[in-house]
Amino acid sequence: MDCIFCKIANKEIPVELLYEDDLVVAFKDAKPIVPTHILIIPKEHLESIADMDDKYEMLAGRLIMVAKKMAEKLGIAKGGYKLLFRVRRDGGQEVAHIHLHLLGGGKMSENIHII
Ligand code: 5GP
Ligand code: ZN
């Protein structure tokens, strides 16, 4: 399957993984929109949150808990951060493999509130 995030998760494309466990990996966004911009993705190819059913409840929780721990590790937890899932076309999702954006490293401006 021609999915860029599957290739990253499978290490077919060399990307520095900041975190890896049995279900997810995390790495820096290629075009950061804030000083700390990390993507947390499932290893399994799932197109969007809308494609998850109840059996993925644990995976959904893992994505969020890894983001929370990454924020602590990267020193942005105290100040705060934003977690963002874009879902399908109207949600502005461009890569059709679930990814949770961890956005931080500075006070979110007015503009960031609509991202
Ligand atoms: P979306 O708009 O789908 O929520 O976000 C996709 C994100 O993936 C964008 O922020 C984009 O910069 C990032 N991205 C797309 N392709 C790559 C890639 O090959 N490597 C990395 N590290 N990030 C990517
Ligand atoms: Zn994929």
DSSP 84: E
Give the pLDDT mean for 75-88: 96
Q: Which two tokens stand for residue 81?
A: 């951060």
Cβ(112)–Cβ(82) below 8 Å: yes
| Closest ligand to Cα 1 | 2
Give the pTM.
Answer: 0.95
pLDDT for residue 1 is more than 90: no
CA–CA gap between residue 62 and residue 104 (Å, rounded): 19
| 37 tagged catalytic | no
**Ligand 1 pocket, residue 32 CB under 6 Å:** no
Choose the catalytic residue: 97, 99, 101, 113: 99
Give the pLDDT mean for 31-39: 95
The phi and psi torsions of 17 (rounded to 5 degrees) equal -85, 125
CA–CA gap between residue 6 and residue 1 (Å, rounded): 8
Cβ(37)–Cβ(29) below 8 Å: yes
Note the Cα 42 to chain centre separation in Å.
9
pLDDT band at residue 114, thresholds of 50, 70 and 90?
low
Beta-bridge partners for 79:
none
- Structural domains in the chain, CATH included, are 4-95 (3.30.428.10)
Instruction: Encode pLDDT of 11-27 as tens digits.
Output: 999 999 999 999 999 99
Q: Which helix (H) or strand (E) holds 104?
A: strand 100-104
Cβ neighbours for 84, distance < 8 A, ≥ 6 positions apart = 100, 101, 103, 115
Beta-bridge partners for 108:
none
pLDDT for residue 110 is more than 80: no
